[in-house]
Structure 1
Amino acid sequence: MLFSDIVGFTSICSTATPFMVISMLEMLYKDFDEFCGFFDVYKVETIGDAYCVASGLHRAGIYDAHKVAWMALRMIDACSKHNTHDGQHIKMRIGIHTGTVLAGVVGRKMPRYCLFGHNVTIANKFESGSVECKINISPTTKNWLIKHDDYNNFDLHARDPSCLPKEYTNAEGTCYFLEGYSHPTVECDAKVEHHIEAAMNQINETN
């Protein structure tokens, strides 16, 4: 699961017209929605500036954590190409956590596919514990990312264990900032999107 929000969104709204805010979110989230299709991840919801996706719900696989991590990197990169109404780059903070959830369609009016459980709360806490332009991942997500030798070239930087959410009851490990990804078949100085595209193409060819 991935949770994200825009840093300083309340301040942005206080100096922008409603149309400016909607236009900004529309341009940015249009890119994010396209990423969902490319990585085959499920868009759970958007609430205000919060954007949430999950992988492994509609089609489980061994690379679900990878797809969400790659999408997070693409999201951070996309933010650098979009501006607020006053010309500043949009800055997001992102949190990712891997775990089991209860999922299903609930209600009669506008029924929605919803996620429930402690791990949903934990994923949200990893987002709130992140900082601007950073992707904060949980120990369980990190363990999934390094499981497969062909796709474990993630640039991970360990954080102090005190940065773990207090609600995270697993005492082992710490959280990490996900800084980048490199694919062995792509030149090191190529854009991150090219590295990620190569990895996705390789996965699609083997499935």
Structure 2
Amino acid sequence: RTHFAGLRDEASRLSILRDKHVETIGDAYCVACGLHKQSSTHAQQTAWMALKMIETCAAHQTHDGKPIKMRIGLHTGTVLAGVVGKKMPRYCLFGHNVTIANKFESGSEPLKINISPTTYEWLVKTPGFSFAARPRECLPVGFPANIPGTCYFLLGYQHPDLSGDITTLSEHIEAGISCSSD
């Protein structure tokens, strides 16, 4: 629990990352962007949050001194969302794209962000993101064959107008946010 609190504190420092959390289920942290307000930068916003979460995990350890081995999977697509339950209502996401995102997380590696070809197509439009292509065989079982491309590891982000030597990831992200505000 304290690790999620630490991640939440770190993520809340970036204004664009607030209110993106949907739910925590066991050790899974479900995040969605662009649900209540259409945005042309929803994939970028989610990628920036993922990068900050990985950076935070890499800098912290569990109470017994072990590294936090978070892995992240990102997929972009339409979902159904709604409140379910009367006694304990919960905001839930449904649909094939939710399942695909979960499979990208399962197919990721510790401290890595595995992104779908669909998310890659959104992110590659924004200068500054860096990627490592993975073989098509790394796509999850059941990934739609009609979607071309492969999956990628998202490696980082450096805003093109800032020098990487003297700025932090947070500063690069803040610059990206200010340039992409909808």
Greater CA radius of gyration, 1 or 2? 1
Partner of 2:6: 27
Bigger share in helix: 1
Match runs of 1:163-174 below 5 Å: 163-171=138-146, 172-174=148-150
Q: Distance in 1 between matches of 2:3 and 2:46?
A: 23
Q: Distance in 1 between matches of 2:5 and 2:18?
A: 20
Partner of 2:157: 181
Partner of 2:174: 197
**Residues 1:85 and 2:63 are matched in the alignment:** yes
**Residues 1:101 and 2:76 are matched in the alignment:** no
CA deviation map 1:71-126 (0-9, x unaligned): 10000001122211122331211000001111111221111221111110000000
Q: Secondary structure at the match of 1:180?
A: strand
Unaligned residue ranges in structure 1 (runs of 5+): 1-21
Q: Distance in 1 between matches of 2:78 and 2:145?
A: 14
Contact 1:25/1:49, CA 8 A, preserved across alignment: no
Q: Distance in 1 between matches of 2:155 and 2:20?
A: 23
Distance 1:99 1:109, change over 3 A: same
Distance 1:199 1:36, change over 3 A: closer
Q: Secondary structure at the match of 1:92?
A: coil
- Counterpart code for 1:43: H
CA deviation map 1:12-41 (0-9, x unaligned): xxxxxxxxxx33443334434x26853355
Partner of 1:8: none
Taking structure 1 as the reference length, what is the TM-score of the superposition? 0.80
Contact 1:95/1:126, CA 8 A, preserved across alignment: yes
CA deviation map 1:151-173 (0-9, x unaligned): 33210111000000012113411
Taking structure 2 as the reference length, what is the TM-score of the superposition? 0.90
- Counterpart code for 1:162: E
- Counterpart code for 1:182: Q
Shift of 1:58: 1.0
Q: Give the number of equivalent residue pairs.
A: 180
Q: Distance in 2 between matches of 1:193 and 1:201?
A: 12
Contact 2:14/2:170, CA 8 A, preserved across alignment: no
Q: Distance in 2 between matches of 1:68 and 1:89?
A: 23
Q: Distance in 2 between matches of 1:45 and 1:66?
A: 20
